[in-house]
Amino acid sequence: MNEQVERIISAGIDIGTSTTKLVISELSLRNVAGGGQVPKIEITDKEILYRSPIFRTPLVSETVIDIPAVQRMVESEYQKAGITIENIQTGAVIITGETATKQNAEEMVYRLSKAAGEFLVAAAGPDLEGIIAAKGSGAYQHSIKTRKTVANIDIGGGTANIAVYRSGMLCGTCTLHIGGRLVEWEGAKVKVAPSIRKWLKSIGHSPLNGDGAIASEMAKVLSRFLAGSFTKEDELLLVGKGPSWTERIDVLMFSGGVSDCIYHEEREDESFRDIGMMLAASIKESEELAAWEWEQPVETVRATVLGAGAHTTEISGATIEVNDSHLPVRNIPVYRVDFHGGLDDITAKMAQAVQDAITIYDALQEGLNFAFYLTNLPYQSFRDIHRLAVAFTEALKQKPNRQQPLIIVMDSDYGKALGQTILANQADLPVICIDQTEVEHGDYLDIGRLLRTGVVPVVVKTLTFHS
């Protein structure tokens, strides 16, 4: 078997409520299939090449990020790491916590993804933050190793992102307005974040009662959410939906800036005039939280940025058909087509799928592109593939812009066969047909350039700017 290894450079940038950091990783790709089998390229190793210092997130005001300052910071860190924009083939910009609610958060992501590298992608949204942090902290890996249900709680300046894993499978997520910078002070002046004012009022607290009391209450709320016994008042701290796991949690792991104070007392930073250290102390001393087994993370404050740099990228199958001149593509929404194991009424089914996708993603008929995710396909003979290709090309005549690439994602190994059959029917249609990739309806995709190993890097994400 050819043991040739291909290496690609990945960048992760985390712009959080309190801090901003960057990490550069090298991902090694290898064919893990046996001789004579269909090639299966996987990421077999991840090495951190460079970790930036932890910077205070630059803001122009309470509601506006200082975009030029962030760009200068990133450019300077690239220089220190000894890399150029052209070296980077994948990665993620993650705008986290309260920063995702800033007025110019979307502009920040757009500007930075343009300035930071050809295939550096943008992602935000509390669920995704929690998932990425759990991979960067080691919670995801710990759940695989022990087969236990592990909750990673990533606590930053404005939010606590919880992701629960059991044996490597995501059980659910939840995000709370619990963080170190939600109560700050300048001299005698106390500043309370709008996101927790209603909750404070509901429990009869004000910052004047003592910041330690607020931190203690936050620790109790956190324990009730983890135990599934939260109250109506506790729900005032929810960001979006409630907890989506049903399993009983076995192990707790903490990451994020506040966890740095939980596990590393010597790193306490007096320059942060907020309740971060009090919150860390309350969590550490909580009798309720002590009821669970605790596991120390491999990363604390850098968990999210390491997850963004090393764990957001997946690799497509090797049996794919792609027009490389149309890559990379970014932020392509996914429309799921479920065949339920049959190809009955395939022409009508594909016509309806294309019509529905246009209605959802290109309602104004501006020619915005989207991807089709074909799942639960039955075994495909050549005749079946041909029927599917003909139905697809016929259905695509509804699209206002027929020159844009047809992007197809499959979880089975028919990417090359379907892509080439579509091209045989319509040679001038740019086709990007990838397989061995699982996505969901409403996900967004980034697909990078074709690599030497005949695969493409893929990032699946949820783009949500929560408010």
The confidence band for 236, taking pLDDT boundaries of 50, 70 and 90, is very high
> What integer pLDDT is reported at residue 442 of this predicted model?
72
Q: Which CB contacts under 8 angstroms, 24+ apart, belong to 174-177?
A: 174/130, 174/225, 174/238, 174/241, 174/242, 174/243, 174/244, 174/245, 175/126, 175/127, 175/129, 175/130, 175/238, 175/239, 175/240, 176/221, 176/222, 176/225, 176/237, 176/238, 176/239, 177/237, 177/238, 177/239
Strand partners, 337: 374
* φ, ψ (nearest 5 deg) of residue 454: 80, 20
Task: Say which range, 42-56, 109-123, 194-208, 285-299, has the weakest mean pLDDT.
Answer: 109-123
Place of tokens 């596990």: 263
Euclidean distance between CA atoms 45 and 253, whole angstroms:
24
Q: How far is CA 65 from the centre of its chain?
A: 21
Euclidean distance between CA atoms 82 and 50, whole angstroms:
9
Give which of 325, 445, 339 is closest to 392, Cα–Cα.
Answer: 339
The most confident of the ranges 119-133, 308-322, 419-433 is 419-433
The most confident of the ranges 119-128, 279-288, 421-430 is 279-288
Euclidean distance between CA atoms 378 and 203, whole angstroms:
56
Element (H, E) at 407: strand 406-410
The confidence band for 464, taking pLDDT boundaries of 50, 70 and 90, is very low
Domains of the chain and CATH, by start = 6-124+308-313 (3.30.420.40), 139-297 (3.30.420), 319-435 (no CATH)
* 137 pLDDT above the threshold of 90: yes
Higher local confidence (pLDDT), 6 or 266: 6
Residues 6+ apart with CB under 8 A from 109: 93, 95, 122, 124
Cβ proximity of 49 and 24 under 8 Å: yes
0.85 surpassed by pTM = no
Q: How far is CA 192 from the centre of its chain?
A: 29
* φ, ψ (nearest 5 deg) of residue 333: -70, 150
Cβ proximity of 117 and 85 under 8 Å: yes
Helix, strand, coil percent content, the chain, rounded in steps of 5? 35, 30, 35
Instruction: Encode pLDDT of 8-51 as tens digits.
Output: 898 888 888 778 999 999 999 888 777 666 677 888 888 999 99
Average pLDDT of the residues in 221-243: 95
Task: Say which range, 57-66, 94-103, 119-128, 307-316, has the weakest mean pLDDT.
Answer: 119-128
Give which of 173, 225, 219, 228 is closest to 466, Cα–Cα.
Answer: 173
C-alpha distance across the termini of the chain, in Å:
52
Which residues of 143-262 form beta strands (DSSP E)? 149-155, 160-166, 169-176, 183-186, 189-192, 251-255
Give the SS3 label for residue 296: coil
Task: Say which range, 20-24, 283-287, 333-337, 362-366, has the weakest mean pLDDT.
Answer: 362-366
**Which two tokens mark 252?**
């707790």
Higher local confidence (pLDDT), 38 or 383: 383
Instruction: Encode pLDDT of 239-277 as tens digits.
Output: 988 998 999 999 999 999 899 889 875 444 555 588 999
Cβ proximity of 145 and 113 under 8 Å: no
Euclidean distance between CA atoms 308 and 371, whole angstroms:
23
Euclidean distance between CA atoms 384 and 436, whole angstroms:
19
Cβ proximity of 353 and 372 under 8 Å: yes
